Amino acid sequence: MSQEIENHDDHNESGNRPFSSVMTRYLSRRRMLQGSLGLAAATLFTDFGLGAAIRQAGADPSNRRLVLGFESLPGSMTDAIVVPEGYTAQVLVPWGTSLDGGNTGWQQDIHMTPAFQARAMGMHHDGMYHFPLDTQHASRDFLLAINHEYIDQTALWAPQGGPTNSDEGARPADEVRTEINAHGVAVVRLRRDDQGHWAPVAGDGHNRRITSATPMELAGPVRGTPWVVTAWSPDGTRVRGTNNNCACGHTPWGTYLTCEENWPEVFTNQGELTPDQARLGINGERGRYGWESADDGEQGEFSRFDNTPRGDDPSKDYRNEARSFGYIVEIDPYDAGSAIYKRTALGRFRHEGCWPGRVVEGMPLTFYTGHDSRNEYIYKFVTKKHWQQSDANRPGEAYDRQAIGARYLDEGTLYVARFDADGTGEWLPLSVDAIIPRGEHKGRRLGELFKDQAGIIINTCDAADLMGATPMDRPEWGTVDPHSGMVYMTLTNNSKRTEEDSEASFTGEGNAAAMGSGYATAPVNAANPRPDNTYGHIIRWQESSDDPTRMRWEPFVFGGSASDADSNLSGLTDVNAFASPDGLWFDERDNGEGILWIETDNGLDKGRENAVAEMTNDQVLAVVPGAMSQDGQPAINAQNQAQLKRFAIGPNDAEVTGIFATPDRTALFINIQHPANWPAADTEDATQAAQGQVRPRSSTVVIQKRDGGRIGV
């Protein structure tokens, strides 16, 4: 999530014990990461199988084969990508790349129009994933599904000196349409030639743009309920657009999951806010881009962004429009004409991403997701239907993948996480029969307060407050080791933390006094141990095979700087120091081993405000997690931090995000978002700095070895 659209408000006033307080107690008990951990993995994860999972993943030195084969990079602050010796980096499908080809390609002074932007790559590339067209050529010819999170109005409207009436007055309709079309998702076919050069296949029948105006279906518990009735969809079954799509996910049946994160700010309500609007951050001021101010087109084209009640009932206005946002959205990349579905059963909030758990025949599927706001929660969705291998993706075949998605994603149980100071945790159900454990509603069922599952979903955050979930330090990306089932998640930072036992600390009583409020400020806890957490950290957990609602968790690595010893709990050095971990991907390799890739978003577009930002741009790091079990120390610490290496560094002011590798592991794809002066004109070499000022363009970057070998080793 870019700092430019990050919401610093804290809407959680639930009174639930926050993760930082849990982490403080945890570290105190275990004396971890303070010189000697003193706790063996087998002890920490008794009965949960994590010690065995680590050993199976290569932690046993006698079995370890995977070794990082590059030198860790020193810090860099340039207008270029930096990669290790022996690697190349190619710029691919930057903003404005036409999906149709022809003579409508990019020019530095191009004036964007609604029609052109609707068939060109959008702005601010973020989460992405690859979908093979056949198994034989899966590593050289596939469909890329990619999110376009938000827009940079300065770059978008550079030829005219910026947007018209950005702060007040009516926005021109065509400018708003162009901005709407610069958001959303793209599907584009990519192909590699025999020389290792990648290019989009212009005009391919799979190429598709999905924007903040594309019609799509609501699915799951919220579909057809009064919560989502609008003048455009009186039966509450449809909505226009998906917005502020950050990270992503994918399904084993071959569909793409895109996630709506900082969508509330594009809406406004000039009247009294409803509880869910207040809880999620909609306000009564002008929307982020003033879209609602444009002279209205057909059927509330722009007025839908104004949620002020104006009619006699919801079918006469757009008071409910925002209730059709905040979901996981499923797209079939193989069928450019297929319907798109918002899978409401997975909860409604500021979704960062949606990561599939381990896939096992005959078992339910699990999807993990985080609410990327300060002092918000981690969730998982467990399908009612058990996985059947016959539903697995069949590249090259045409069939209804969305029908399979409906069977798995429209019915199941949504859970929210509680992390305890003894290293255990519990998944709390958000269902009509769930019993509220404490506070003024103690002993009541969630269904008594919210009526039905649709009401719980619309008010997911309030339901999580009531159940006693643990407020976290901005949950961002997650990833799952498909061999062991171990889950990793980044907690990127939190400026709204206080010391333990401070004025805002947990009292053991009550939840929020009223729906629509959350935790104002949160004291530290075991899983979030640092007040004013500047650097962020990564946790991991393993769920019990006997009872998947129970887990064991531990801190995996703390961000920090060698020059800031008090906060450097993992003993990082200048060649692997990092802050604000964000993107995360587990790269499965041989013999159950894998590489954990970590990307950072240190907020460089808002200035170099911490010690890490003062020495390097945002970056990609790599570590072999299975190696993190030396001397009974299962997490990165001062004794083994050299196993963490800096692999790539982004250009000035840019966030590094979005990540996957081709199945043969010869190409690593990342995204560069909101660069200041990159990529250089007239070259696809991402390592070349621009000569003079260019119109910045977010882009995908492909990193490969010059010798064509596997990346990272």
Q: Using the 3D structure, point to which of 292, 313, 348 is the last residue of a domain.
A: 348
Residue with tokens 């993706």: 393
Does residue 115 sit in the same domain as residue 163?
A: no
pLDDT tier for residue 250 given thresholds of 50, 70 and 90: very high
pLDDT band, residue 57 (cuts 50/70/90): very low
Q: What is the rounded distance in angstroms from the CA atom of residue 288 to the CA atom of residue 280? A: 15
Q: Are residues 228 and 289 in the same domain?
A: yes
Could you give the CA distance from residue 572 to residue 577 in angstroms, rounded to a whole number? Answer: 5
Rounded to an integer, what distance in angstroms lies between the CA atom of residue 467 and that of residue 425?
14
Other beta carbons within 10 angstroms of residue 333's beta carbon come to: 25
What string of DSSP letters covers 298-349? TTSTTGGGB----SSSGGGS-TTGGGG-SSEEEE-TT-TT---EEEGGG--S
How far is residue 663 from each of residues 57, 129, 446, 668, 669, measured CA to CA in Å? Answer: 19, 12, 44, 10, 12
586: which 2 tokens?
A: 């587990």
Q: Among 41-45, 159-163, 422-426, 490-494, whose mean pLDDT is lowest?
A: 41-45
Choice among 461-470, 514-523, 658-667 with the minimum mean pLDDT? 514-523
Q: How many CB atoms lie within 10 A of CB 337?
A: 7
Stretch 154-181: mean pLDDT = 97
Question: Rounded to whole angstroms, how far apart are CA atoms 361 and 386?
Answer: 8
- Given a contact cutoff of 8 angstroms between Cβ atoms, the answer to whether 626 and 54 are in contact is yes
Q: Extract the tokens encoding 240.
A: 């226009």
Is the model's pLDDT at 560 over the cut of 80?
A: yes
pLDDT of residue 45: 46
Contacts of 543 (CB under 8 A, 6+ apart): 48, 427, 485, 487, 549, 550, 551
| Residue 24: per-residue pLDDT | 64
- For residue 204 the two structure tokens come to 């391919």
Structure tokens at 140: 């050289």
Q: Is the pLDDT of residue 31 over 50?
A: no
Q: CA-to-CA distance for 671 and 122, rounded, in angstroms?
A: 13
Q: Are residues 688 and 702 in the same domain?
A: yes
Q: pLDDT for 400-416, tens place per residue? A: 999 999 999 999 999 99
DSSP 8-state secondary structure symbol assigned to residue 208? E
d(CA 39, CA 93) in angstroms, rounded, equals: 48
- Determine the average pLDDT of the residues in 25-49: 45
Q: Are residues 606 and 659 in the same domain?
A: yes
Cβ 81 vs Cβ 701: under 8 Å? yes
- Residue 50 contacts residue 552 (beta carbons within 8 Å): yes
At residue 366, the 3 state secondary structure works out as strand
Report pLDDT for 34: 39
Q: What's the token pair of residue 413?
A: 């149980």
Same domain, 637 and 697: yes
Residues 312 and 173 in one domain: yes
Q: Which among 292, 327, 348 is the end of a domain?
A: 348
In this structure, is residue 493 part of a structural domain? no
Give the pLDDT confidence of 439-449 residue by residue, as tens digits. 999 999 999 99
Confidence (pLDDT) at 309:
97
Residue pair 387/409 in contact by the 8 Å Cβ criterion: no
Q: What is the pLDDT of residues 205-247, one digit of tens each?
A: 999 999 999 999 999 999 999 999 999 999 999 999 999 999 9
Percentage above 90 pLDDT, the chain: 78
What separation in angstroms does the CA of 638 have from each of 22, 635, 645? 22, 10, 14
What confidence tens digit (pLDDT) does each residue in 592-631 have?
899 999 999 997 766 788 999 999 999 999 999 987 754 4
In a domain, 84, yes or no: yes
Are residues 533 and 20 in contact, defined by beta-carbon separation less than 8 angstroms? yes
Q: Is residue 178 predicted with pLDDT exceeding 90? A: yes
Per-residue pLDDT at 436 exceeds 50 = yes
Residue 58 backbone zone (phi > 0: left; psi -120 to 50: alpha; other: beta):
left
Residue 78, exposed/middle/buried by CB under 10 A (0-12, 13-18, 19+)?
Answer: middle
Average pLDDT over residues 186-205: 97
225-238 burial: b if 16+ Cβ within 10 Å, else e: bebbbbbbbeebbb
pTM of the model: 0.92
Distance, CA of 367 to CA of 480 (rounded, Å): 10
Give a yes or no: residue 361 inside a domain.
no
Question: Is residue 460 one of the residues assigned to a domain?
Answer: no
Tell me the average pLDDT of the chain. 90
Residue 282, CA atoms < 13 Å, CB-side half-sphere: 28
Residue 367 lies in a domain: no
Q: Model confidence at 18, in pLDDT bands (50, 70, 90)?
A: low
What's the CA angle centered on 430, arms 425 and 433, to 5 degrees?
A: 115
Contact residues for 399 (Cβ-Cβ < 8 A; gap 6+): none
Domain that holds residue 149: 123-348
CB 226, CB 332: distance < 8 Å: no
Residue 66 lies in a domain: yes
Instruction: Report the half-sphere exposure of 704 (CA within 13 A, side-chain side).
Output: 20
Q: Which residues pair with 491 in a beta bridge?
A: 475, 537
Higher pLDDT, 74 or 3: 74
> If pLDDT is split at 50, 70 and 90, which confidence band does 522 have?
confident
556 and 702: one domain?
yes
Domain co-membership, 74 together with 176: no
- Phi and psi dihedrals of 175, rounded to 5? -65, -40
**With bands split at pLDDT 50, 70 and 90, how would you rate the model's confidence at 37?**
very low
Is there a domain that residue 373 lies in? no
Q: How many other C-beta atoms are found inside a 10 Å radius of the C-beta of residue 588?
A: 15
Cis-peptide, bond into residue 679, ω within 30° of zero:
yes
Distances (CA, A) of 162 to 42, 181, 338, 531: 59, 17, 36, 39
Please report, in angstroms and rounded to a whole number, the separation of the first and last CA atoms in the chain: 29
Mean pLDDT throughout 90-101?
Answer: 95
- Per the structure, how many domains does the chain have? 2
Q: What share of the chain is helix, strand, coil (3-state, %, to 5)?
A: 15, 30, 55
Is residue 642 classed as helix, strand or coil in its secondary structure?
helix
CB 113 within 8 Å of CB 178: yes
Same domain? 255 vs 323: yes
Which of 294, 328, 348 is where one domain is finished? 348
Quick one: pLDDT at residue 605? 62
Together in a domain, 192 and 102: no
More confident residue, 25 or 385: 385
* 493-506 per-position pLDDT tens digit: 887 777 776 654 33
Evaluate whether residue 309 is within a structural domain: yes
Question: In terms of domains, do 216 and 245 share one?
Answer: yes
Q: 88 and 235 in one domain?
A: no
